[in-house]
Structure formats: C-alpha cells, structure tokens
Structure 1
Amino acid sequence: MSTTTTRRVKLANVVPDFYKAMIEVDRVSAEGIDPKLAHLVRIRASQINGCAYCTDMHSLDLLKLDDNQQRITLLPVWRESRNFYSEQEQAALELTEAITLISVDHVPDEVYEVAAKAFDEKELAQLIALIITINMWTRVGVTGRMEPGHYKP
C-alpha cells in the first residue's frame, strides 16, 4: 500500500446528497437483522477490505451491545473458532466473505445454499443488502483514508 500526503476528498462534504443517500441505504439494509449479527458482518467485510475506520466503528458498536470482545478478536479466524458463533452467524460470515471477495469465486452455490437454509427469504435478502452496503462503505473509508480512533458510539 502506498502512502501519500495528497489530501483526499471527503464525500460527505463534497457530495452531501450522495452521502445522505448512502446513510439511507445503510439504514434500510439493516432493517430486521439482529444488530449483533449485522455488526459481525460489517466487521468481517471491513477486515477483508482493509478498512480500519469501519472495523473500529463496528467493533465499538458491537461491544456497546454487550457482545464478547473475544468474538471480535477471533473474527478473522472464525472458521477455526466456530464454537463462538452460531450456525446462522457462520452462514452469514461465509456469505459475507463470498460477496466481499466476489471476483474470486462469484458467490458459490454451496455458500449461498447454506445461507438460504439459515435465513428465510426476507432475512437473506436483507443480509445480502447489508453485505453490499458495508462493501460500499469500506470503499469510502479506504479511498478517503479514514483513520480509526475518531468514532464515538
């Protein structure tokens, strides 16, 4: 990764209507999803995409919901620590990774099938929307070089 002293644009300041629309998409995409599950998904996609700001933000939000720090710490290696995550969470994390890394395997049928068994159709649609949305946010964070440590839940 190259570092630069070039000032990065802040989308919220320069294109506020776009940014407000993103906030609305974020709100709608999380409707009906358990908040703890939503933050696990957001953290995992943020980790994969290298967005320190989003990883920090959603980790703090999850901790505020009285979740366990150990679940956050083990999230990058969730497959090796499955006993910390429910079957539904595991299915969501697998789908999160597949959608986030879409160019690798194009969301394999077997990953989708596991998620489709763990969630009803509406929940699955909301989960997919949430995953797409956090991937959008991480692109804002990484492109803008947003730094962790400034978010207050």
Structure 2
Amino acid sequence: MSSAPRLSIQDVDPAAYQPMFALEKYIHAGNLGEDLLALVKIRASQINGCAYCLDMHGREARAAGVDDRRLDVLAGWQEAPDLYSPREQAALTLTEEVTLIGEGGVSEETWAQASAEFSEQDIVVLIMAICAINAWNRMAITTRQALPELPAAGSAS
C-alpha cells in the first residue's frame, strides 16, 4: 500500500476545515481539561489507526502534563485502571463505544458511568470531542495526511 498523500484538503479548499476549527474552539472552551481531551483524542486515534493524529495528540498530551507511562499504556488502559481516574475511565469507555458505535452503540452501563462523572454540559462537550476526533481521523486517513517534519535534535523549536 502506498503511503503517499492523496490530497491536501487545506490546499484544495481552506474553508473546508473552518467548521471543524469552530468545533475545536467550542470543545477546548469547555471544562474537560487539555489532559483529558488529549487522552480521548489519542484513544480514538489508536482505535482508528490514525498516525497523524496519534503524533499530534501525543505531543499535545505531553505538553498538557500527561505522564509518559499513562500514554504508553493507554491502548490497554483497562488493564491498568489505577493509572486513570474514574473520570478518565468514564471518558475513555465512552470514547471507545462512540468510536465503535456500529458494534453495539453506547451501553446503559457506559452512559451511567459517564453521567456519574460528568455534568450534562460536560457530557455534551465530551460527545462533541469524540465526534470531532473521529472526523479528523477519517479525513487524515482517507487523504493519507503525512506526518509533519520534526525539528532536528538540538535545534530551536
């Protein structure tokens, strides 16, 4: 399989991303916190296999103070529940079920767990965040968006 980029949405139509940027502004203005948002974005991107988003949100997670160990085991978080708060566990469970919505929807147990940890307003923001990262993943994977070049070691960022 070729990994050459197919298309740059930004180059073809810069306005196409504007609704997504507005959605991101809404999500980041909420009360979820950058660390939780990063975990949600990484977990959905792991499920979807989006290298571009994994790269981006891994860096964002570290900048938000998420510990490397928690990032390293995120794909198997259910095997290390002590590393994640009940709030994070509720968000990750909801992220997995929404991302894999066609496999059985969102269970009553998952909804109850989320409702116990988040206000209704925060659940709205969380759902929008999960939907947004799934949309970003689909755009990046479909177009084979290339990873950005990183600065050379020792150079100023």
TM-score by length of 2: 0.89
Contact 1:57 1:151 in 2 (8 A): no
Segments of structure 2 that go 5 or more residues without pairing to the other structure are: 152-156
Q: Deviations over 1:49-69 (max 9, x none)?
A: 000110111111111122210
Equivalent AA in structure 2 for residue 23 of structure 1: F
CA 151–120 in structure 1, closer or farther in 2 if over 3 Å, else same? farther
| Contiguous gaps of at least 5 residues in structure 1 | none
What does residue 29 of structure 1 align with? 27
CA deviation profile, 1:79-117 (whole Å, cap 9, x unmatched): 000111000000000000000000001111211111011
Distance 1:56 1:6 in 2: 17
- The whole-number CA distance in structure 2 between the counterparts of 1:5 and 1:97 is 26
User: Does 2:121 correspond to 1:122?
Assistant: yes
Deviations 1:16-44 (A, max 9, x none): 11112211111212322211000000000
Q: Distance in 2 between matches of 1:107 and 1:82?
A: 20
Please name the residue that 2:141 is paired with. Answer: 142
**1:17 — aligned with what?**
15
Tell me the distance in 2 between the aligned counterparts of 1:71 and 1:14.
38
Contact 1:31 1:126 (8 Å CA) reproduced: no
Aligned residue for 1:148, secondary structure, equals: coil
Q: 1:140: how far off?
A: 1.0
Tell me the percent identity.
36
Q: Give the superposed CA RMSD.
A: 1.7
Tell me how many residue pairs correspond in the alignment. Answer: 151
TM-score, normalised via structure 1 length: 0.92
CA shift, 1:149, in A, is 4.9
After superposition, residues 61-100 of structure 1 pair within 5 angstroms as: 61-100=60-99
